A = this chain, B = another copy of it.
Amino acid sequence: MNIPEDNTVQSRIELYFDRLWPINRSITGPGFRESLDILGEIIPTERLRFETGRKVFDWTVPKEWVAHDAYFVDPEGRRHAEFKVSNLHLMGYSVPFKGTLTLAELHPHLYSLPDMPDAIPYVTSYYRENWGFSLSHNELQTLPDGDYEIYIDTELFPGVVEIGEAVLPGQTDEEILFSTYLCHPSLANNELSGPLVMAFLYECIKNMPSRRYTYRFVMSTETIGTICYLSKRGEHLKNHLVAGYVMTCLGDRGQFTYKLSRRGDSLADRAARIVLRDNAEHAIVPFIPRGSDEKQYCSPGFNLPVGSLMRTRYGHYPEYHTSLDNKTFISFDALAGSVDTYFSIVKALEANLVWESRVQHCTPQLGPRGLFPSVSHASVAKSRVSLEEKLTAMLWFLNLADGQHDLLDIADISGCRLDLLTEVVQKVLATGLIKVVENAA
């Protein structure tokens, strides 16, 4: 392993990105396992395995798939769509095939994007036996008539869907879940960004001096992996999960987008809303049962408090699911920023206690406790804006420290920044004026 020139999160993420990029991942197979191993240097995961043929809710675990090589040769002897050049050239889960076809016979097996003639689309066929090649539309159009030699050296065999799971225990058995998926081949934003952000977020949480919540991290494969996972952990999560997030599309240069959970006002939603409100241009979008694994977590039988913090959403940027979603498209600053924002959410959740002031009747006296300047006059007030903001935050906090409102409520009602409120809590706590009533959940 290379040593990064500097030790910033950005360069460390880039190093892992470069190692993971070339691997041919899919929903099963060696590429997925190898990728888990590499990320395991930061986030060591237990492996959950689900054998081919196993019934998981409405689904059946598919065969395992390995691709060794694939291409086709045109009548003039030129190779096209070489898997070894780009793993996107081969349709995911292509069955083995060798033979000679005319261009007309080959054509239904070729995928391209006429609107994006330089891009190779990402195509899969997990649940219907098929084979195919993706290539740029420019290349497709150069193919001469005649006979083509097809060479697809893949294997489909009984194996396992595998999931990496890590848990960082906290003081309570209430849990926060982070879930991402590692089943895409050489694609950058969707999806190496999610696993990379998860790994470095894991590191941040692991290094916290204490944790109130237990944190659960899931590196799954989209849809089938998460369905497997929920068949094993679903009931546990129904009993313990207080907030969860699907991590995806976190590396592009766009603003943050938070997709609400199906409940719309879960703790996951409330924490994300306040953190984004305080910190960044962003959009909040409603739940929709399309997209990524949130549709499994938010299926009606689970209806878990799981939202998704992304940057630009899947399907909302043209590079999505094409060869243009590559290292150039993403930004390592954006990835590091995504780690930061997710960690801010973690801190918001950890700070989200319900407080009760020992003085409920009339305002507490701030001056003698060192919480308020005893001289008040307009000149002072006018010059120290931030003092004003702090005082406002303190008065709001004390007014709502009534055993009924958690800190996210207070941030929401007051409009005060959560970090300011958190600072106020520490200051007031040191005076003995407040006590915790209970955890919010």
Contact = CB atoms under 8 A, between A and B. Distances in A.
A378 B121 contact: yes
Contacts of A128: 367, 374-375
Taking residues whose C-beta sits less than 8 angstroms from the other chain, chain A's interface range is: 35 or more
Contacts of A132: 375
A168 to B, nearest CB: 26
Contacts of A365: 58-59, 127
A320 to B, nearest CB: 7
Contacts of A322: 378
A290 B395 contact: yes
B379 A300 contact: no
Nearest to A111: B377
A325 to B, nearest CB: 11
Contact of A377 (B56, B123, B302): B123
Contact of A127 (B124, B301, B368): B368
Contacts of A300: 357, 360, 399-402, 404
A362 interface: yes
Contacts of A398: 289
Nearest to A223: B363
Interface string A382-417: 100000000110011011111010000000001000
A180 to B, nearest CB: 17
A302 to B, nearest CB: 6
A364 interface: yes
Contact of A289 (B121, B315, B320, B396): B396
A80 B237 CA distance: 74
Nearest to A124: B376
Interface in A116-144: 121-128, 130, 132, 134
A112 interface: yes
Copies in the complex: 3
A58 B296 contact: no
Given A290-B392, A367-B128, A234 B375 contact: no
Interface string A293-330: 00110111110000000000001000011100000000
A288 interface: yes
A417 to B, nearest CB: 15
A230 interface: yes
B123 A399 contact: no
Interface in A83-130: 111-115, 121-128, 130
B289 A361 contact: no
A57 B361 CA distance: 7
A259 interface: no
Contacts of A290: 391-392, 395
A299 B357 CA distance: 11
A321 B58 contact: no
A245 B182 CA distance: 55
A56 B376 CA distance: 22
A63 B395 CA distance: 26
Residue from A121, A300, A381, A382 with most neighbouring chain B CB atoms (10 Å): A300
A218 interface: no
Interface of A: 56-59, 111-115, 121-128, 130, 132, 134, 223, 226-227, 230-231, 234, 262, 288-290, 295-296, 298-302, 315, 320-322, 357, 359-365, 367-368, 374-379, 381-382, 391-392, 395-396, 398-402, 404, 414
The 6 tightest CB contacts between A and B, nearest first, are: A301-B360, A300-B402, A289-B399, A301-B361, A128-B374, A123-B377
Given A113-B378, A289-B396, A302-B362, 11 more contacts: A57-B361, A113-B379, A125-B374, A130-B374, A227-B362, A300-B357, A300-B399, A301-B360, A301-B402, A302-B361, A320-B378
